[in-house]
Amino acid sequence: MVVASVFIALSTFLAKGVAGHFDAQAQGIHPLQITAGRFIFAWMLWMAVICVKRINWQPVHWRLHVVRCVFGWATVTLVFWAGSLMALADATAISFLTPVVTLVLAIVFLGERVGVVRWSAVAIMLAGAVVLLRPGTSAFQPAALLALGAAFTSAIESTLIKKLTALESRLQILVINNTIGLLIAMTAAVFVWQVPNLMQWLLLAGVGLTMAAAQVFFLTSMRDGEASYVVPFMYSTLLFAGVLDYIVFGDAPDAIGILGACIIVGGAVFLALRESSLANSSQRTQSVSSSDK
């Protein structure tokens, strides 16, 4: 998961660079086109993979795939867009509000009951968001709303991914996701397309390939370890993105931004630990019930 976080940070860092931060003289690539580049090169990679490793095709749940891909495309675009306009550490921290939205969705659509402890974790994360966003002050950044939108779309995407992984193989999901995502991204990018120069093509390739690598390591960590244990390590993305952003672009969050980010991550880790405790308790209950039978 830590390696996945490194590649996620690299992808957003390269996206910020190709948006115009690497070369002030060249016209920056629009975030919609950067997302298209991400899907172009990731799709090429997965096509190469399935030429070597044949897929044992299972029934395809097209409606789930299409809806998931729409929200996945939106998430990537909003993250790239926010990162191009503000410090990567701030944009990344705001996007970490996904667990809050996921919890609310579980209550509304799945009818889950949420206790005081889990609501407390949500309150902590929302407090961190208020500190980081600073609404109503001159320090408020409108670009932060893009990152906040990414948290919402990512939560919906995550919910759909959970359903898909129970129905289809990981490789099949990755291939179909990148194919549909490519079609959506290219359609949206047509309206802002400009011919990239050689360096911009290389950077776009870097965005796509690093994101594909992140997907591989993320899915591997989720397969080989307990989600409640490995997911908190994903928050190391904040550190990697912040360091890269500061060293190369000189962008760094201020003290209040760092405080808000720490509160958000603290609440997210607290929520993950709570979920782990609930999962373990449920397993013990099922084990006792089985032994009684």
- Checking if the pLDDT of 289 tops 60, the result is no
- Checking if the pLDDT of 195 tops 80, the result is yes
- Checking if the pLDDT of 74 tops 80, the result is yes
CA distance from start to end of the chain = 39
Q: What is the mean pLDDT of residues 86-103?
A: 79
Q: How many Å apart are CA 97 and CA 123, to the nearest integer? A: 11
pLDDT grade, residue 58 (50/70/90)? confident
**Least confident among 31-45, 131-145, 158-172, 197-211:** 131-145
Chain centre to alpha carbon of residue 115: 26
Q: Cα dist. 277→58, 173, 181, 282 in Å?
A: 34, 30, 36, 9
CB-CB contact of 270 with 121 (8 Å): yes
Half-sphere exposure of 11 (CA within 13 A, CB side): 29
pLDDT grade, residue 207 (50/70/90)? very high
Tens of pLDDT, residues 164-193: 877 888 888 888 999 999 999 999 999 999
pLDDT at 121: 77
In this prediction the pTM is: 0.79
**Least confident among 47-61, 130-144, 232-246:** 130-144
Q: What is the mean pLDDT of residues 265-278?
A: 73
